[in-house]
Amino acid sequence: MAGLTLRDVRKSYGATQVMHGVDLDIEDGEFVVFVGPSGCGKSTLLRMIAGLEEISGGTVAIGDVEVNEVAASKRGVAMVFQTYALYPHMTVYKNMAFGLKQAKTDPKEIDRRVKDAAEILQITDYLDRSPRNLSGGQRQRVAIGRAIVRDPKVFLFDEPLSNLDAALRVQTRLEIARLHERLETTMIYVTHDQVEAMTLADKIVVLRDGRIEQVGSPIDLYEQPANSFVAQFIGSPKMNFFAISDLASGASTNLGRELGSDEHVGLRPEHLVPTDGSAVVEGKMELVENLGEYALVHLTTETGVEFIAKTEKPPSVAKGSTIGFSIKPELAHFFDKSSGARK
């Protein structure tokens, strides 16, 4: 096992710079998730750590060893890709053993590692099957097993659940969490799904346009987002934003402070409470998504701002009715309009 250190890591394709001086420390045994929208650089950063992409500047160190000039196969990392990339003509056993055979590992050691990994992932009964006779979730477990047998210092996961259906994503996500708990190895996981990030990570790294926006625990990012981008990206449904002109009269009293003309206030849907009294924000009800355990109420303010409230039950009023919402002042977030920085 080993930690990871990135210092001023940059990546350019010709004159186009895509990673802009990334600095990051990952502790030994941490589960770190890179999250962000498409094109933010999260997979590029992962591939630079793996040695599959050359860095244009800065340093990457695994443990105490700088690996800028070290080949991918010598870095002590194992990568699980979005596609399973299994050899169709080989059995599960041979797929998992292939890399070790190429490294001329002793056959008895190969057998031990493959069987140990299969037991961890509960695929022992599938070792003699070919990949075409496995489900998507089973194939992904084989791909993870192929990484485990290498006994790497660092595991790298590049959106490994993207090709699975919703039920399998939940199941495989739990298996990956249990795997980390059992192996206690450093893991770096790339996803665009903030739910995966919140449920798996010890530490989340939020990326945008090749830069780190914020690093912290899931609860830190949820409760104390550094800027409006992080605030909207972390949380589902995303945070609502309002200018002073979008709020109900007397809203400042309910927010516990005046909202300046150069500010936005961010209110999470799950923190909005329907009220017949003094409201922070009011909206005309446009649509209700009744999901059983809760309802998502879509509304529009008089100024045309669309927002969502997450309630225990659907409102008992007709579509087109105006509903007021209150919020505890300590749950409101304030951001600068121009920079997006937290205030």
pLDDT, mean of residues 21-36: 96
> What was the pLDDT predicted at 72?
92
Average pLDDT over the chain reads 93
Instruction: State what percent of residues in the chain have pLDDT above 70.
Output: 100
CATH 3.60.15.10 holds for 4-233: no
Domains 4-233 and 240-336 share a fold: no
Domain boundary assignment for the chain: 4-233, 240-336
Instruction: State what percent of residues in the chain have pLDDT above 90.
Output: 75
pLDDT digits (tens, 9 = 90+) for 168-214: 788 888 888 988 998 889 999 999 888 899 999 999 999 999 999 99
Catalogue the E-assigned strands of the chain.
4-13, 16-26, 31-35, 57-62, 65-66, 77-80, 154-158, 186-191, 203-208, 211-216, 240-242, 263-267, 273-275, 281-290, 295-300, 306-311, 322-326, 333-336
Contact 230, 214 (CB under 8 A): yes
pLDDT(273) > 90: yes
Cα–Cα distance, 75 to 52 (Å, whole number): 11
Contact 180, 28 (CB under 8 A): no
- Max mean pLDDT range (70-84, 160-174, 216-230): 216-230
Other Cβ atoms less than 10 A from the Cβ of 311: the count is: 18
> What was the pLDDT predicted at 172?
84
Q: Which CATH class is domain 240-336?
A: mainly beta
Label residue 274 by pLDDT band (50, 70, 90): very high
Cα–Cα distance, 105 to 207 (Å, whole number): 39
Cα–Cα distance, 92 to 143 (Å, whole number): 9
> What was the pLDDT predicted at 291?
93
Which tokens sit at 204?
Answer: 């989340």
pLDDT, mean of residues 323-343: 95
pLDDT(164) > 90: no
DSSP symbol at 175: H
> What was the pLDDT predicted at 2?
82
> What was the pLDDT predicted at 126?
93
Cα–Cα distance, 129 to 143 (Å, whole number): 14
DSSP symbol at 339: T
pLDDT, mean of residues 260-289: 95
Helix, strand, or coil here: 234?
coil
pLDDT, mean of residues 71-99: 91
pLDDT digits (tens, 9 = 90+) for 97-146: 998 998 899 999 999 999 999 988 889 999 999 999 998 888 888 999 99
Label residue 341 by pLDDT band (50, 70, 90): very high
> What was the pLDDT predicted at 163?
78
pLDDT(1) > 70: no
At residue 314, φ and ψ (nearest 5 deg) are -60, 145
Q: What is each CA distance from 28 to 24, 32, 153, 190, in whole angstroms?
A: 13, 11, 9, 18
Comparing 215 with 147, the larger pLDDT belongs to 215
> Half-sphere exposure of residue 298, counting CA atoms within 13 Å on the CB side?
7
DSSP symbol at 293: S
pLDDT digits (tens, 9 = 90+) for 214-245: 999 999 999 999 999 999 999 989 999 999 99
The total number of residues written for the chain in this structure: 343
In b/e form, how buried is each residue of 152-176, taking b as 16+ CB within 10 angstroms?
A: bbbbbbbbbbeebeeebbeebbebb
> What was the pLDDT predicted at 21?
94
